[in-house]
Amino acid sequence: MPRLTQTITAPNGLKYEQPIGLFINNQWVSSSDGKTLSCINPATENEITSVHAATAEDVDAAARAARVAFEGEEWQGIVGTARGRLMLKLADLVESQQHTLATIEAMDNGKPYSQALGDIEEVFSVFRYYGGWADKNYGQTIETSRAKFTYTIREPIGVCGQIIPWNYPLAMAAWKLGPALACGNTVVIKAAEQTPLSILYFANLLVEAGFPPGVVNIINGLGREAGAALVQHPEVDKIAFTGSTTTGKQIMKMASATMKNITLETGGKSPLIIFDDAQLENAVKWAHYGIMGNMGQICTSTSRVFVHENIYDTFLQKFTDYVSKINVIGDPFDEKTYQGPQVSKEQFDKVLGYAQSAKEEGASIFAGGEIAQSRPNGKGYFISPTIVSDVQPHMKVYKEEIFGPFVVFVRFSSEQDVIKMANDTEYGLASALCTSDITRAHRVAGKLKAGMVWINSSNSSDFRVPFGGVKQSGVGRELGQAGLDAYSSIKAIHLNLNLTTSI
């Protein structure tokens, strides 16, 4: 009998039981063909453990469990208020286990423990927020004629397949599970290959909170195998995905066979515009946070920074000084560490490849662009923060999503020009601008083609506010009240009042 759990001692000394199986019907099972995926700590390059990898057959079992749970009285019979209570209980359990969950994420993803703790706070906050919405999914009454009573109700969509990335493992799960459960759906969620451990640990909290079997099923597995099987499964009514634009397009295609409802949150190359009247210290701080947070592995990272020519050189120098002060590279469990490793060897190689490409295309590497000299024990996927200046629009580093601590700087001279340059991308996820002129701020915000605009900040997202993109950055919105639209459908009901007299 293959093992379904393993005792792990984390680098910070925490000893805990790590589930490593597939979570279907509130039970741990092994994969049907016994295949596993190796889990690597990117700070040390050592294997932590390995987890069962779902086959198409396992995905089928999970989807059928979610279908039975969706149709079953145990879940259908729970009114919104009671569903909300389950979610609040779940939030309390996540909060009580935040140390363990943050430890697991720091170890499996490489993010500094302090940042992982912030992510777990986001997780329980999102469950509380959507727990509050669970009994507020209202329909409308619509006046049509006196002969009938017309109204709408909001119904859950059904079985939702959710595919999450590795950059914020449990937070991305919460963004999707929160609204799905609040609206009364059931779920099969697939963890990213690189980071399955925290969501597997979280699975046991679902049972403890009292969720009926089959309401949330959690699988690990390869995208092209388990992910693709989930997207194509006939029992799955909806797919919600966060990840690369390339995979998002494949998912759209696969989901078209059964015309599934889809929500996609994909890539970005978000601009940050610094006007010459910006409050400089504040702009430097946010420009830094916008690209260096989470090792630059954020879909909304403001990775293209446009600076007005009057302040370009000063800004670039101040930014570089700030990076060298803040980006302390080191062990994710060391309190002083700001920057951990990239999540995987693949991402590490990809980011370094872009530094090479910048050199080849004639950009000037102002700082970084190599393996970090200060990485602990000479191991791990650590990259020195990379600043590339005087980048031209034809260069790969200007156009493509890099997903690392890698920023490109561009000069501009007029508002009109910079709006054009900022919008000259296939993406449209986020955008940001810094200025002291409120009129200009409002005017430019209206012209940026993006799902989100931050004024005098960057990446200051909030779970109460809709999140998502236009163009090739995605379809639909997550978070806030808008997040509920993605997980409910409207049914219109026309009730003929059978009036005998004509009106």
Active-site positions? 265
Q: Which stretch binds ligand NAI (CB under 6 A): 56-64, 108-116, 132-140, 263-271?
A: 263-271
Report if residue 40 touches Mg ion, rule: CB under 5 A.
yes
Spatial separation of the C-alpha atoms in residues 2 and 30, rounded to whole Å: 7
For Mg ion, the nearest residue by Cβ is: 108
Report if residue 108 touches Mg ion, rule: CB under 5 A.
yes
Spatial separation of the C-alpha atoms in residues 304 and 358, rounded to whole Å: 14
Report if residue 247 touches ligand NAI, rule: CB under 6 A.
yes
Spatial separation of the C-alpha atoms in residues 493 and 115, rounded to whole Å: 48
Interface with ligand NAI (CB under 6 A), residue from 105, 108, 122, 193:
193
Please state at what angle helix 197-209 crosses helix 169-182, rounded to 10 degrees: 30
Min dist CB 214 to ligand NAI, Å, is 21
Strands 22-24 and 15-19: unpaired
Token digits for 433?
């601008």
Q: Which stretch binds ligand NAI (CB under 6 A): 15-23, 160-168, 199-207, 376-384?
A: 160-168
Report the Cα 190 to chain-centroid distance in Å: 13
Q: Which is nearer to ligand NAI, 11 or 227 (CB)?
A: 227
Q: Which is nearer to ligand NAI, 366 or 403 (CB)?
A: 403
Min dist CB 380 to Mg ion, Å, is 12
Which string of x and - marks every residue 345-364 that binds ligand NAI (by CB under 6 A)? --x--x--------------
* Beta strand residue intervals within 27-137, DSSP E: 27-29, 36-41, 46-52
Spatial separation of the C-alpha atoms in residues 462 and 438, rounded to whole Å: 22
Report if residue 468 touches ligand NAI, rule: CB under 6 A.
no
Q: Which is nearer to ligand NAI, 10 or 171 (CB)?
A: 171
Report if residue 105 touches Mg ion, rule: CB under 5 A.
no
Report if residue 290 touches ligand NAI, rule: CB under 6 A.
no
Cα distances (Å, whole numbers) of residue 443 to 1, 128, 415, 419, 481: 64, 36, 10, 11, 26
Spatial separation of the C-alpha atoms in residues 212 and 209, rounded to whole Å: 9
Interface with ligand NAI (CB under 6 A), residue from 8, 101, 273, 299:
299
Report if residue 461 touches ligand NAI, rule: CB under 6 A.
no
Token digits for 172?
């991305």
Q: Which is nearer to ligand NAI, 11 or 290 (CB)?
A: 290
Q: Which is nearer to ligand NAI, 213 or 293 (CB)?
A: 293
Under DSSP, the state recorded for 61 is H
Give the SS3 label for residue 193: coil
Question: Which of Mg ion, ligand NAI, none has residue 237 at its interface (CB below 5 to 8 Å by kind)?
Answer: none
Token digits for 60?
């089928």
Report if residue 10 touches Mg ion, rule: CB under 5 A.
no
Question: In sequence order, what are the residues at sequence separation of 6 or more whose Cβ sits closer than 8 angstroms to the Cβ of residue 312?
Answer: 409, 411
Q: Which stretch binds Mg ion (CB under 5 A): 26-34, 103-111, 269-277, 434-442?
A: 103-111
Spatial separation of the C-alpha atoms in residues 127 and 43, rounded to whole Å: 30
Question: Which of Mg ion, ligand NAI, none has residue 469 at its interface (CB below 5 to 8 Å by kind)?
Answer: none
Interface with ligand NAI (CB under 6 A), residue from 84, 227, 293, 341:
227
Report if residue 415 touches Mg ion, rule: CB under 5 A.
no
Which residues inside 118-177 make contact with Mg ion, applying CB under 5 A? none
Report if residue 296 touches ligand NAI, rule: CB under 6 A.
no
Q: Which stretch binds ligand NAI (CB under 6 A): 9-17, 226-234, 281-289, 418-426?
A: 226-234
Spatial separation of the C-alpha atoms in residues 386 and 292, rounded to whole Å: 10
Beta bridge partners of 80: none
Residue 325, judged by CB atoms within 10 A of its CB (0-12, 13-18, 19+), counts as: exposed
Report if residue 231 touches ligand NAI, rule: CB under 6 A.
yes
Give the SS3 label for residue 233: coil
Interface with ligand NAI (CB under 6 A), residue from 43, 180, 189, 228:
228
Q: Which is nearer to Mg ion, 111 or 269 (CB)?
A: 111
The number of residues that bind Mg ion (CB under 5 A) is: 3
Q: Which stretch binds ligand NAI (CB under 6 A): 12-20, 225-233, 284-292, 433-441?
A: 225-233
Spatial separation of the C-alpha atoms in residues 71 and 124, rounded to whole Å: 28
Sign of the torsion formed by the C-alpha atoms of 59, 61, 62 and 63: positive
Spatial separation of the C-alpha atoms in residues 193 and 184, rounded to whole Å: 28
Question: Which of ligand NAI, Mg ion, none has residue 108 at its interface (CB below 5 to 8 Å by kind)?
Answer: Mg ion
Token digits for 26?
């509130």
Nearest residue to 194 (alpha-carbon basis) of 47, 27, 58: 47
Min dist CB 167 to ligand NAI, Å, is 5
Give the chain's count of helices (H) and strands (E). Answer: 16, 22
C-alpha torsion angle, residues 312, 315, 316, 318 (rounded to 10):
160
Q: Which is nearer to Mg ion, 40 or 51 (CB)?
A: 40
Which residues inside 184-203 make contact with Mg ion, applying CB under 5 A? 194
Report if residue 428 touches ligand NAI, rule: CB under 6 A.
no
Report the Cα 503 to chain-centroid distance in Å: 54
The residue ranges that bind ligand NAI (CB under 6 A) are: 163-167, 190, 192-193, 223-224, 227-228, 231, 242-244, 247, 250-251, 265-267, 299, 347, 350, 401, 403
Which positions lie near Mg ion, rule CB under 5 A? Answer: 40, 108, 194
